[in-house]
Chain A
Amino acid sequence: MSFSIAPAGVKPFRLTFWKVVFLSLMAAGLYATFIRFTRGLGASTHLTDQFPWGIWISFDVLCGVMLAAGGFTLTAAVHILNIKRMHSIIRPTILTAFLGYVLVCMALMYDLGKPYNIWHPLIMRNPHSVMFEVAYCVMLYTAVLALEFSPVVLERFNLQRPLKLVRTILIPLVICGVILSTLHQSSLGTLYLIVPEKLHPFWYSPLLPVFFFLSAIAVGLAMTIFESSMSAKHFGLQLELPVLQELGRVLVVVLGLYAILRFEDLARRGVLKLTVQPGYEMYLFWLEMLLALILPLLLLVQPRVRSNPVGLYWSAVLVVLGFITNRMNVSITGFEGSTGVRYFPKWSELAVTGMIIAAGFALFGLAVKYLPIFPKEHATEVAAEVSAELAAPEAVLQNAGD
């Protein structure tokens, strides 16, 4: 593999370093967990009556769900649109999505004031509530993802009968998954439709559900590129470059569409003039635009960049960081003006988030080691080391959280 993300250092030392990083993240996270569940939200977060939703909602839930969007994007492409070339990357993508949703559910247990009541939406229904829809979609889609992922486990243990059953219902399952994702990704935007006066006009728009859905597709594609590139590097696999190039092409279209809609919407609401008035919100708005739209579009429209693994990789990273900034802006920056308070997460909030991300990388590594995730030639390296090594980019993600 000619392409590398970080300079290849002396191997044993590097592995030890990332192991230490991984273990300290876990330790800090567990200590924060202890504080959260013995002393409550007040002691473990910087949440206040003015700022009831913090990073556990903004990053762990909003971004977590968004980062898992590759699952429905790719299953739709492979199973519905019948694009066979992409079949080789579908398993790691479904794994990412499944882990993503499991971790979102885990994060919710921290954020909910009374997590033991998390099952209440099952029997206490309020169909007027977007949160109710979100609850059902998370639940059902996690189940769908578990089933979509199950063939990997069933193959591993050679359970032919259930395997056949899952394959029989695969297409209806995929269709359910795509519909649930469409509803769910967009409804995270719909959540904020009810606060027209509280959310800054850069981010409040009647089109919020559309923006959340479109950006989820963009991030789904970008995450697939990101995670395929990472896997190729760390597990010594053949990089599926032609497939990733095609994803890059689609990504340009989705980003372009999003950019047009977003600016047309700003113009129609008469907010465009605010984008040139210097201020806190204005800077974060342009940071979002730069990372999510301007730079990736400038890069990806060039066939030269799209055909280059490094160019593709960094464009994907920009898109992911850009839309993480978007979710943070919608759920945190956009509220700071109307509430009159600045929110910055407490160390324990960051520690829990860091632990959850680290757990995600570790679980991915373990799954790759023990399950047939990658087609045939999948490397049988020591997963614990690999997973610890994979924990590297989480520092990047965490910084983006602010």
Chain B
Amino acid sequence: MSKALLYDSTVCIGCKQCEQACASQNKLPYDDTIAAEESQSAHKLTVVLTRGDKFMRRLCMNCKDPSCASVCPVGALQKTAAGPVTYDPSKCMGCRYCMVACPFSVPKYEWGKLFPKVQKCTMCPDRVAAGKQTACAEACPTGATKFGEREELIAEARQRIRESPGKYVEHIYGLEEVGGTSVLLLSAVPFETFGYRSNISKDPLPMLTYQVLSRIPEFVPLGGMMLGGIWWITHRREEVTLAEGRKPDTATKNGRKS
């Protein structure tokens, strides 16, 4: 089935090796200055946040039904069956609707470049396709970030919560958010502490636009017929008026339809 990542923030020691591994996997620069940055950006696709003695990773959630892929007019963003949400810069025209639409505000833009790309964690699609785990999971020294089958990881997360009462917030973030994501999070403190929004819908967001878009195929012929009908009636009325006043002019175009 589909692959996922489970990040257990209680196991994390904040060593940021995942950040470094991610940077080298995606051929992005990484040094002490970048390590100190506390936010995701076009050159930092994952970040380990620190609040006191608590840590939390932020990365693309690789949603099961991603808004970004749904809104991309050219299909540059795609959800793969294996789990990763991939990005093809050669297709992208830079409309940035993905950035607006993402409920987690994940996609970032190379604002400084003349021909910019969208940048986001794509869950190492090449590695996953080759049967390997993601770079961040491989680099993690404590197993805080674990790669595996989504269903198995969910079962494991549930078990961890069950076995240590009081240790975790009783919530697997990503289990149901926007219909489920391929990144699952466990935390000892509320997720809002690290900027994860709690008011997120349990239903996939793409339905909101698709239920409007899917009406178009029936709207077009119906609308066309209606407008054509109104045109016919109003012009026929005019003809009748003319005919009543003068002699009818039979050679007119009342048979023409749209």
Contact = CB atoms under 8 A, between A and B. Distances in A.
Contacts of B206: 128, 194
Interface string A160-194: 00000000000110011011001100110011011
B234 A50 contact: no
Interface stretch (A63-71, A107-115, A254-262): A107-115
A159 B205 CA distance: 52
B212 A47 contact: no
Nearest to A48: B111
Contacts of A179: 219-220, 223-224, 227
A183 B74 contact: no
A86 B216 CA distance: 30
Contacts of A82: 231, 234-235, 237-238
B231 A40 contact: no
Contact of B230 (A50, A80, A112, A186): A80
B96 A129 contact: no
Interface string A237-251: 000000000000000
Contacts of B111: 40-42, 47-49
Interface in B16-44: 40-42
Given A129-B70, A131-B95, A197-B197, A49 B105 contact: yes
* Most A-side CB within 10 Å, residue of B74, B206, B230: B74
B57 interface: no
A133 B235 CA distance: 32
Contact of A197 (B41, B97, B103, B230): B103
Contacts of B255: none
B208 interface: yes
A41 B94 CA distance: 11
Given A197-B199, A198-B103, A52 B75 contact: no
A80 B223 CA distance: 12
Interface stretch (A118-126, A218-226, A346-354): A118-126
Interface string B130-162: 000000000000000000000000000000000
B102 to A, nearest CB: 9
A339 interface: yes
A226 B93 CA distance: 36
Interface in B52-108: 67, 70-76, 91-97, 99-101, 103, 105, 108
A360 interface: no
Interface in B231-258: 231, 234-235, 237-238, 256, 258
A185 to B, nearest CB: 13
Contact of A112 (B72, B94, B220): B94
A400 interface: no
Contact of A194 (B70, B75, B199, B237): B70
Nearest to B211: A193
Contacts of A129: 70-73, 97, 209
Given A47-B111, A120-B74, A124-B75, A112 B95 contact: yes
A213 to B, nearest CB: 11
Contacts of A52: 96, 99-100, 109
Contact of B116 (A113, A183, A191, A195): A113
B196 to A, nearest CB: 12
B201 interface: yes
Interface of A: 37-43, 47-50, 52-53, 76, 79-82, 111-115, 117-118, 120-121, 124-135, 171-172, 175-176, 178-179, 182-183, 186-187, 190-191, 193-198, 206, 209, 339
Interface of B: 40-42, 67, 70-76, 91-97, 99-101, 103, 105, 108-109, 111-116, 197, 199-201, 205-206, 208-210, 212-213, 216, 219-220, 223-224, 227-228, 230-231, 234-235, 237-238, 256, 258
Given A121-B93, A179-B224, 5 more contacts: A80-B227, A80-B234, A128-B209, A132-B74, A197-B200
Question: Which 7 residue pairs of A and B lie closest in terms of their CB atoms, listed nearest first?
Answer: A113-B94, A42-B111, A82-B234, A117-B93, A132-B73, A131-B73, A124-B74
25 contacts: A40-B116, A41-B111, A41-B116, A42-B112, A48-B111, A49-B99, A49-B108, A49-B109, A52-B100, A53-B96, A112-B93, A114-B116, A117-B94, A118-B93, A127-B213, A128-B71, A129-B72, A130-B209, A172-B258, A179-B227, A183-B216, A194-B209, A197-B103, A209-B212, A339-B105
